[in-house]
């Protein structure tokens, strides 16, 4: 959900990871590295370690990603996985 949305929005803007890192740092003063962004874009990174709140807000604001929609999708997936395991 979120990793795919970040990567898709970045690529739609024709930006490299480094381009996005620089924009976020310059506009929002949120420190990121391209390796952190790579981890944020990786859907296999476990959710608790996925992203910091300042980075989340800066990236989604700059990339115009709807957090409400992402949160709903993430919770639906989490609920499905949790119910299926129990």
pLDDT tens for residues 13-25? Answer: 999 999 999 999 9
Burial 59-82 (b: 16+ CB within 10 A, else e): bbebbebeeeebeeeeeeeeeeee
Rounded-to-integer distance, Cα 30 and Cα 82, Å: 33
**CATH (residue range 2-85):** 1.10.260
Cα–Cα nearest to 2, from 53, 85, 13, 23: 53
Tell me the C-alpha to C-alpha distance, in Å, between residue 47 and each of 13, 22, 50, 59: 25, 24, 5, 16
Write the pLDDT tens digit of every residue in 57-86: 999 999 999 999 988 988 888 788 777 665
Question: pTM, whole model, 2 decimals?
Answer: 0.82
């Amino acid at each position: 959900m979120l990793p795919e949305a970040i990567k898709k929005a970045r690529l739609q803007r024709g930006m490299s990871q480094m381009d996005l890192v620089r924009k976020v740092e310059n506009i929002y003063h949120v420190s990121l590295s391209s390796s952190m962004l790579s981890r944020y874009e990786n859907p296999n990174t476990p959710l608790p370690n996925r992203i910091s709140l300042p980075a989340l807000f800066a990236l989604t604001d700059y990339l115009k990603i709807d957090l409400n929609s992402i949160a709903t999708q993430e919770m639906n997936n989490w609920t499905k996985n949790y119910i299926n395991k129990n």
